[in-house]
Structure 1
């Protein structure tokens, strides 16, 4: 009887011990499952790509790499590993309210929204000696015979740092007077005959830095600005100082009856001219102009102090007026 009681008591103790051990084992297994990393999948790819923080304008960011075909449908795709290159933000060169040092300020009297013309470039200038060039003018028009024999003349005089210039012919009746400065010719006053008689006067007010035409028309004056007559002798002086300057294009601000603007002379090339004074080597220049304006060409003769030995004007309707040298008188070098 006593033995049976002891066996029953030990069975209960063993059962309670076994249950306690089982509970401890289950608790340890649960904790291990929670803290242990998931097992790595063999063969799972690692996606590597360089990305920006934002896609460029007009383009979308690249789509993430798709999982391999043999991956289980229920398994989530592995996260991609991204390497980002951080670029410093670009800073403006100057604040919006500032301008680069040395930039000329617009004239206070200029029209709103319009800056005064600035001389495109500076050239070395050595002006030619006093000269007189006589020309013969030939005019042709579509469907009409050429009219020949009309005389024209260029009179260029220098003395004591001052000059006077008169030119007639295919460019009209032009005159200019002034002095000289570091940029070459410095006109003080110019005139050109108007279509109905009289003359259009252009004054270069150097004391106030203005080009004046009439009572109200006024524009900023920049050093090196010329009028329609003086620009021809300025071109001569540029070539005489250094022939290498007369290449590609030569840009000069020119003031006339239509206001002041940049005149661009395209160097066409070197040409031989047959003239009454003999065969002349020349440099052919063409003044570029908008469609609908007259085409103006000039031929300068390096062996004749770069003086203009031929001028030609072609109108939009095809009318051509050409004046060719027939005599040259040049004073001793000045």
Structure 2
């Protein structure tokens, strides 16, 4: 039973640090392309840092744990994000990376990769020359129109938007991006819920709660994010919730700033 529980924990964790929604079915050839918002928000990128997170999961009535490290770098018109996630007993279960340029839209990914436990690495390419998004895991492609993100960069683009317009980043406001996953892409909408006090290993922090809710009647994950203005708007907590009430939560426990 414990083995099955850890196997389920692995399945729940695979996309936890990359802000990933569960993969959606690929559209049929005759269906129109998904809504593709093009939004040019003002951005102010967070300072480069290594962020260490503590992970807790509720899976089939069991509480399980793990940890994650996110290396965020932004310098000289380039950025990179590297994430490593480990679970108790299983060891490393996910590596996710995003790298690219910094342009007038903010983060402009060139490539994102994911390496899951016992699975081959997958890559999503943002080809700036022919202006297309392509995938190693599917034949789909999408036009690059500006502002598109991958699942790893989307949260850091949201952080940059919040830092640039803190007075507009208030309860009820919504911020939309077009986000590419491993095999397809879709519009994501982040809604600001409001300011909340959350307990972390860094102390009690006032943080802005942001929600990415799944579409009605969808079985996709719900993503809740808490960004702390007093901590450079870094994500200090993220929670991924399933339709069956299983969940995984990651809470920031240390920030190592990079000079």
TM bin (shorter chain): 0.7 to 0.9
Which TM-score applies when normalising by structure 2?
0.78
Q: Deviations over 1:175-221 (max 9, x none)?
A: 10001000000000001234651122100001001001127321111
- The root-mean-square deviation of aligned C-alpha atoms, in Å, is 2.1
Question: 1:321 aligned to 223, 248, 251, which one?
Answer: 248
Structure 1: distance between partners of 2:96 and 2:211: 19
Do structure 1's residue 273 and structure 2's residue 198 form an aligned pair? yes
Structure 1: distance between partners of 2:163 and 2:108: 17
Runs of 5+ unmatched residues, structure 1 = 1-110
Structure 2 SS opposite 1:289 = coil
Name 1:228's counterpart in structure 2: 151
Structure 2: distance between partners of 1:179 and 1:285: 26
Alignment CA distance shift 1:326-1:175 (3 Å) = same
1:147-162 maps to which residues of 2 (within 5 A)?
147-148=64-65, 150-162=66-78
Alignment CA distance shift 1:263-1:172 (3 Å) = farther
Aligned pairs, number: 220
Name 1:183's counterpart in structure 2: 105
Structure 2 SS opposite 1:243 = coil
Structure 1: distance between partners of 2:222 and 2:34: 26
1:217-256 maps to which residues of 2 (within 5 A)?
217-247=140-170, 248-256=173-181
Relative to its length, the structure with more strand (as a share) is 2
Name 2:258's counterpart in structure 1: 331
Name 1:167's counterpart in structure 2: 83
Structure exhibiting the larger radius of gyration computed from Cα positions: 1
Displacement over 6 Å in runs of 4+: none
Runs of 5+ unmatched residues, structure 2 = 1-28, 87-92
C-alpha displacement at 1:317, in angstroms?
2.3
Structure 1: distance between partners of 2:242 and 2:31: 33
Structure 1: distance between partners of 2:99 and 2:200: 29
Structure 1: distance between partners of 2:181 and 2:238: 18
Name 1:57's counterpart in structure 2: none
Name 2:230's counterpart in structure 1: 303
C-alpha displacement at 1:120, in angstroms?
4.4
Which TM-score applies when normalising by structure 1?
0.61
Structure 2 SS opposite 1:238 = helix
Structure 2: distance between partners of 1:245 and 1:257: 32
Alignment CA distance shift 1:319-1:112 (3 Å) = closer
Higher relative contact order structure (alpha carbons within 8 Å, sequence separation ≥ 6)? 2
Name 2:20's counterpart in structure 1: none
C-alpha displacement at 1:122, in angstroms?
2.2
